[in-house]
Structure formats: structure tokens, C-alpha cells
Amino acid sequence: MSLSQTTITSTVVFAVATCLKLLLIPSYHSTDFEVHRNWLALTHSLPPSEWYYEETSKWTLDYPPFFAWFEWVLSWLAAVADPNIVKIDNLDYGAPSCVLFQRISVIMSDLVLLYAVIQYCKWKKFDGDLQSFVISALVLLNTGLLLVDHIHFQYNGFLYGILLLSIVKMLQQKHVQAAGLFALLLNLKHIYIYVAPAFFVYLLKHHCFSSTTSGSTRRFLHVKFIELAAVVVCIFTLSFGPFIYYGQLSQVLSRLFPFKRGLCHAYWAPNFWTLYSALDILLATIGFSPGEGGSMTSGIVGEMKLQVLPSIPPVLTLILTATATMPSLMKLWKKHNTCGLDFLHCLILCGYASFMFGWHVHEKAIMMVTMPMCLLAMEDGRLWRIFTILSTAAHISLFPLLFNTAEKLIKVFLFVPYIMMALTSSTLLKGNHLLQWELKSLDVVYTAGCVLVQIYCLFIHGVGGYLSYLEFLPLLFTSVTCALGVTWTWFLTITLYLAT
């Protein structure tokens, strides 16, 4: 059976992305590299009953059980590549063989993302190679994934592949498969609980209730509900069942949800709390009496208090997140004739709300918005403008993760072509509805401002000793400017959805 043109196009883009990833193997890697090496070691050397208690390294296992089993599978390959990788007491091991194995493992796991992109393109039945190329390039060459997974070091690519597959199944109205895939995803990385409300509401409405021709819900379908529940419960039982048997559920959950950490991560994610914290610093600087709090950047040590503004408890972030999520969920539930694209729009807004107001949000979580946003932008030209601005703010916000001088130009060379592709894609797709979009004056001013700020942060600050004693300034400037962009695009996205 011959390969479809869509498959060939996506595979070629994936091959180009793979070549680029191979070139990045020698680049800097963060402490996350040691985190995952340690998880390889502990899952290989210890029985599952000890996985969530092991503390030889400070980088303890804090992902759901399915990801631990994923590391266990990789550990057997790692033991063949280099037995020293899987020794628990071999802390901070970074031999070339270890680096090569872990880098390649991330690259190979991205095959799941390639498969998901191919399935999406096949479902869309694109009538031209260019459409397949654009969506493949925007996903497979995503700047955020390249920076975070293939330099900083994580395994997000295959996880987003599973998310994309679950979205495709939802768009195809294969609800049981979509629920199963999303349940699998939650048991690999629990951060995807951010978008779980969109899955729950859409599945409940479209799978568990019959509808009239007008679109209003009519009768609860008990069998359909049990069908969905059985799939989800089975997956969670497979994941957590062994640890419930060991009597370790509370221990596992304490690792997954460490609420003793501070409001902001060590590096501020560009969300509402960045603007709140920056205002606190400004008020303290201009003379308001500071309290006894300290820096808000204590992501590892523990919870720190603000200096002037009231401290934020975890429960308040939960309330604000729920409040921000509720309008889009209600719209999804009440709107007549909702379709898969409504679900995708709501999913993006759920990701936005959790990122904007969540507790101890990591900067990398913004990809939960940017990745599905490029799919929706292909459907609605009005969102292409938002996607371009968001991509600018989101990807620049990841720059401080790579703080070595050697990575400065790499960040720029990965970012600029991607944004240029986003800007020019609508022009390439002639005759497509994407031609309707255009950047507004305020968007241009903001984008230019981001560029100028980054020129200062990357190439001017500290040169010749200039303000070198204020080493936090580039980080602060980046977080605040990107937070403004993310907040602006969130407002535009939710306004557009509620208005339709």
C-alpha cells in the first residue's frame, strides 16, 4: 500500500526536525537531565513499592505511575547502552554515552507526535501538500519543544502526541477512544489536568446525553456513561492500583501535588502572578513598607511571602482558575450545535486559565496552549493573529531556561524562522480563509517591544559591567513583557469564543 502524500510530507518535516535535534545533542542540558537519569536508575534498581519513597537524589519521582513505567522500559535500554546510567548512587552522571542515550530517547519518543500529526492531516483530508506542510512544521518544528525537550531536556513531544491523538479522536466523534487516550495522558503527566474540564463537559454532553434536533440535551444515557467511566476507571486502576495495594496512595499523591512550594516557580511563568509579583517589587522599591517576606522565586526551597501585597494561598488560585474556566465551559455546555472545534477552543481556554492563575505554574506549561492553538488557527483565520502574538510571547518566555552564552544564538535561530513561518503561512495558503487575518497596530508595537527587550537582555545587559550587579533584571523584563502578551492573547481568545 502506497503512502499518502500527507504522510510523506509530514515524515519529511519530521526528518528535517530530527536532523536539527541531532545537531543539538551536544548543547547545554538542565538539571532535568539528571532528574530523568535518576528516574531511570530508581525504576531499574528498585521494586515499584519503593519508587515513590526513594530519596537518594533530591530529584525524587513526582510524575504519575505510567510515566514511571515508561522510565522503567527505557532503563533496560539504558543499562545496555551504559550500565552506569542506572546506578542510583551515581548522582550527576553525565558521560557522553549517557547524554547520547537520553537525547536519542527523547528524539525517538517524538515518533508518537509524528503519528498524531499524520492522523490529524488525514482526518482533515487536506487537498494540498502545503496545508499538510504548514501544520506539520508548526507542530513538529515547534520552537518550544526544541528548546525544552532537546536542549533543556524533557519528554514533552510524545505527551503532546497523545494529547493531539485524543483531540483527533474527539473530532472524529470516537469519544471512548478519546477518553481512553486522555486518561492515559493524565497518568503519564498530571499537568494535563489543566484541560480535563473541556474533555469532561464535551464528553458528558455529546456522549452521555441524547440531543434534540435543536441541539438541547434531552435524556441521560446511562449505558453510554458507564461505557466511558469503565474505560477511564480501568486505566486509572492499572496506573494507581499497585500503589493502592501497597498502601501508598497518599505518598504518591503527595509527590504529585507538592503544595508546599511557592506561588511562583523559580523562574516566573509569564502569567497573572508574574504581573502581581512585579507590582509587589515595584511598590516595595518606590517606598511602600515591605513586610518580612522574601523573594517570590523560591520554587524549590518552599513558599515565600510577598513584601507589600497580600500573600496568595493555594485555594485562591484554585478559585480564580475555576472562575476563569467557567464561562467557556458553560458556553460549551449550553451552545446549540457544538462541534469538535468548539471543544478545541474550550480546551485552549482551559489551558489558558490554569496557566494564568494556577499555583506554582511552570513556564513550560504555556505549550499546552500554543500546541493546540496552531490547529485551531488553521480553522479560523481570526485566531491566526492571536496565535502569532502568543507564539512570540510564549517562546521568548522560554529563553531564560537556556542561560549559557553558547545558547544565545541558538535560541534566536530557532525562534525567528518559526515566527516568520507563522507570519507568512496565511499568505502561502492562497485562497484559504487564513488570508482574512492581519496584525493590528498594538500587536506590532508589542512584538517590536519584545524584540527590543530581548536585544537588551541577550546582548547588552552586563556588557562592560553595565548593571551586571542587577543580574535579575533580564529575567524580570522577560517575564513581565511575556506575561503582558500572554494575558492579552487570553483576553482576545476568550472574547472571541464567547462572542460566537
Segment 362-388 mean pLDDT:
88
Which range (8-22, 211-225, 235-249, 349-363) has the least confidence?
A: 211-225
Segment 34-55 mean pLDDT:
95
- Which residue in the block uniquely carries the three cell numbers 535560541? 411
Burial class (CB in 10 A: 0-12, 13-18, 19+), 19: exposed
Given pLDDT bands bounded at 50, 70 and 90, which one contains residue 433?
A: very low
Task: Say what the pTM is.
Answer: 0.92
What is the reported pLDDT for 464? 66
Which range (22-36, 47-61, 447-461) has the least confidence?
A: 447-461
Output phi, psi for 220, to 5 deg.
-75, 130
| 315-329: pLDDT as tens digits | 999 999 999 999 999
- Which residue in the block uniquely carries the three cell numbers 502581581? 276
What is the reported pLDDT for 382? 79
**Which of the pair, 424 or 321, is modelled with greater confidence?**
321
What is the reported pLDDT for 383? 86
- Which residue in the block uniquely carries the three cell numbers 557522553? 96
What average pLDDT does the structure give for the chain? Answer: 87
Give the C-alpha separation, 217 to 234, whole Å.
28
Q: Which residues contact 99 (CB under 8 A, 6 or more apart)?
A: 25, 26, 29, 33
Given pLDDT bands bounded at 50, 70 and 90, which one contains residue 217?
A: low
Domain extents for the chain? 264-311+360-500
**Helices 340-357, 473-499: inter-axial angle, 10-degree rounding:** 150
**Which of the pair, 135 or 216, is modelled with greater confidence?**
135
Give the C-alpha separation, 102 to 40, whole Å.
10
Residue 214, pLDDT > 60, answer: no
